[in-house]
Chains A and B, each alone.
Chain A
Amino acid sequence: MPAGFTIQELESWNERILVLVEKFGLDPYPQEFEICDHEQMLGYMVYSGMPSHYPHWSYGKNFEKLKTLYDYGVSGLPYEMVINSNPSIAYLMRDNSLLLQVLTIAHVYGHNDFFKNNFTFKSTRAQYTIETFKAHANRIRHYMEDPSIGLEKVEPILDAAHALSVQCRRNLAIRKPSQEEDVERRLSESAPAHDPFHSIHRRQDYVAPDLNRVPLYPEEDLLLFIRDHNPLFSDWEKDILTIVHEEAQYFIPQMETKIMNEGWASFWHKRILDTLELPQGMQLEFVVRHNQVLSPARGSINPYHLGMKVWEDIERRWDKPAVDEKRDTGVKAKTGREKVFEVREVERDASFLRRYLTEELIRELNLFEYQSRGGDQVVARVADDDNWRAIKETLIKNVGTGTIPVIKIEDADYNKNRVLFLRHYHDGRDLQLEYAEKTLRYLHLLWSREVVLETEINGKQSLLCFADDKLTIKPVH
């Protein structure tokens, strides 16, 4: 091994780190580390770290892009890549120095602990991750090699499914009600409310609910709904939609907790390395590297930096609250350590920021809101007395799945014509029309009939109707 370390060295550092991990109360899955070179690292990055994954050109595109950026020195490679599985797998780049390996190992345990304990990851079935992705890959390869199907049929379905894959349920901790439960809910909703004065009131008319409507309640899982309701699909097509949907759902928790997760891992790698008593040379390198990773990104948000700031703030406020902060922490105050462990279990980015990003922190970080005006990004608000709340709201809208428009299927038989009707739940942000058009084309391909999306464009309710290979925009009357 040409690198400046041996496996034995890594193992001994790892043992010392593990002692601290246990002492601090972190509770990770068993961990596996794989040493790889930078080409392999690029390969893993493209497939989100998965040892096996089905093929699709978009991964090739991503590879080229990353490689170009890396070759031209625009961006470096991440020090660590870790996947949410049990045992967890992480990759270490062999060209990195020993200190970076130690830093990465400590950082990885932070992620690993987060994967195991945060509520959003409960639905990801970590013990089957690797096998599931492998099975998916095998199935899709099988379809591609099947002479009666082949790449030329599989690829358009994959393209279309990828375009819609993140249009799925966001909070997987809430169980999806079954069809029967939906029917029941609909019936009980339409039953007249209990009236304690029924003897003197006129009896309300009972309006029978329309139980034939499909779906009964607006449906967020676009791919699954299409899979179950397009009668023209054959089994392999349904299977592809299922696979793409499941993979998207697997990654939703990671999107939902990006800031928390990175902050948490950085918070702990710092603590671990500070406690490790590194030799002086390594200590200096640690300070440099740590500051590189944790430096605030001017003009945007560095999730490592923001996350770690909030975590440190929580710990401080619960350990040594300033006088005016006492009321926030409650009477039977927990220690800072207890509090952060509780928070890492029950929050995700949106709720984490809403509850724990304080006005002081917003000011300290100099957060600002920008808006695009005539092609330029212009600062619209800075963190002053009037605006910090608005900035916080905007930030919360832009983390996790907040960046994905909420679009739900409302009717699969719109105008009694098997037209698929969807609604965009507009929250002040318009859809990008070119992208919407192309995505509707994919939706149309999967649904194999006209699709209609209701949304707001420049303040006007509009219908985007995609049929006969073209998009028409109609105002809503």
Chain B
Amino acid sequence: MSTVFRSYDSASSQRSDRCAGDRQRHREKVHEAIRQNIADIISEESIIGKDRDRIIKVPIRGVKEYRFVYGDNAPGVGQGGPDTQPGQVIGKGEQGGDGQQAGDRPGVDYYETDVALDELIDMMFEDLELPYLERKHLRQMEVEQLYKRKGYRKKGIRIRLDKRRTAVSRVKRKKAVQRADAFALRPQRFPFHRDDLVYRHTVTQVRRESNAIVVCIMDTSGSMDTMKKYLARSFFFLLYRFVCTKYQNVEIVFVAHHTEAAEVTEDEFFHKGEAGGTFISSGYRKALEIIEQRYHPSLWNVYVFHCSDGDNFESDNAAALQAAKDLAGVSNLFGYGEVKPLGSGYYGSSMIQFFSQLAADNFQTVQIQRKEDIWPAFKGFLSRERTRDDAA
């Protein structure tokens, strides 16, 4: 009997990553699974307000391989020591050891994959499919013009004549003539012809820069508790991220208001508690002021979003409506989100009803009651925007 030994061939080992295709397909499936669960991921507090490069652990379902397997009441056998006694706890849920065999026990869902926040955001917005939003609402500035060579042409202006290529094409023509007619070999003049001339072609390239400003206005009056702030914050986060994917240069301004408004830092915006009553108009006036001074609508795409629990002082309503109209006039999109967690007790009126008098077509209202509402609300917010675009 002969035994064959085949020696190791490093070249073939480098070539033979035979599993690559299957790994790729598996990764695609993982991504699909993440995309399906995005709503859940969004409602997890952990992702909001994190750095862009931050890696997040995302639980994934749907890439398991299901078979008929036995459940919990199936006993097993293990090997112990002389000290093993009935009643001893040897492990939690999952058994060790013989778990690899096919059709054995339900496997552990080891899937908690690492995804960069950026990648996740891209995946989220892939779903939104908003092709026209960008085009219509981009107020662009042509920031740079440059000329770039792009091929050659037979016609052109003198200054772009490519002498080398022109000479080459003349030689070519000469050779061709000689081949066609052997007697043409006699030394004689062989001048340039119009067909020999080659010109460089250039194109103008314009680099556009687009700027966007997101103005986040939040009601920080006494009635806005942590939960409401959290919901508002999640919505702001999504909006900011979304705008970031569409514009090159995005800035963000935070305005907090109760009866008076002030521009605050991000940290203060989300964490600082305030107290007191609510004048929504104060927040809007402040926003208008900031836009007027620093982000003029002729240069900036303005996105304004306001979150409140809708508990405004009656006396301020008329002023608020007027201010809202002005804001809608200067911004691309102006949104009002009313945060009313379930079970928070219904008091005060809803500003959504009141704002329905506002006839601006770039004004949107959404209502958020629970964490799970955020993503659908956000999607709805943008898709209404798209419908309007299409109609326009």
Which A residues are closer than 8 A to B by beta carbons? 1, 7, 10-11, 14, 18, 28, 30-37, 39-40, 42-43, 46-47, 55-61, 63-65, 87, 94, 159, 162-164, 166-167, 251, 255, 258, 296-303, 305-306, 365-372, 375-382, 391, 394-395, 398, 403-405, 407, 424, 428-436, 438-439, 442
Contact = CB atoms under 8 A, between A and B. Distances in A.
B78 A368 contact: yes
A166 B67 CA distance: 9
A348 B89 CA distance: 32
Contact of B66 (A59, A64, A398, A439): A439
A301 B98 CA distance: 7
Contact of A379 (B27, B67, B80): B80
Contacts of A159: 65
Nearest to B20: A60
A300 B95 contact: yes
Given A366-B84, A372-B72, 5 more contacts: A57-B26, A301-B97, A372-B93, A377-B89, A398-B98
A394 B76 contact: yes
Contacts of B106: 432, 434-435
Interface stretch (B11-19, B35-43, B286-294): B11-19
B4 interface: yes
A394 B75 contact: yes
Find the residue from B68, B75, B96 having the highest chain A CB count within 10 A.
B68
Give the most central of A1, A58, A368: most B CB within 10 Å.
A368
Interface of B: 1-8, 10, 13, 16-19, 21-29, 63-82, 84-93, 95-98, 101-106, 110
Contacts of A395: 77
B69 to A, nearest CB: 5
B3 to A, nearest CB: 5
A369 B88 CA distance: 11
A372 B268 CA distance: 50
A163 B66 CA distance: 6
A302 B5 CA distance: 30
12 contacts: A30-B3, A35-B8, A56-B25, A61-B22, A159-B65, A162-B65, A370-B78, A377-B91, A429-B70, A435-B68, A438-B66, A439-B66
A61 B7 CA distance: 29
Contacts of B67: 163-164, 166, 404, 435, 439
Contacts of A10: 5
A431 B69 contact: yes
A382 B84 contact: yes
A299 B66 contact: no
**Dominant SS among interface residues on chain A:** mixed
Contacts of A394: 75-77
B14 to A, nearest CB: 9
Contacts, number: 249
A302 B79 contact: yes
In the A-B complex, the 9 residue pairs with the smallest Cβ-Cβ separation, listed nearest first, are: A300-B97, A60-B22, A60-B26, A438-B66, A432-B71, A60-B23, A429-B74, A35-B8, A57-B25
A458 B167 CA distance: 92
Contacts of A371: 73, 75
Contacts of A442: 66
B74 A18 contact: no
Nearest to A381: B86
Contacts of A367: 77-80
B88 to A, nearest CB: 4
A297 to B, nearest CB: 5
A31 B87 CA distance: 49
Chain A CB within 10 Å — which of B22, B72, B93 has the most?
B22
Given A30-B3, A60-B25, A377-B93, A431 B76 contact: no
B77 A391 contact: yes
Contacts of B91: 299, 376-377
B101 A255 contact: yes
A10 to B, nearest CB: 6
Nearest to B21: A55
Contact of A34 (B6, B29, B65): B6
A302 to B, nearest CB: 7
A103 B373 CA distance: 62
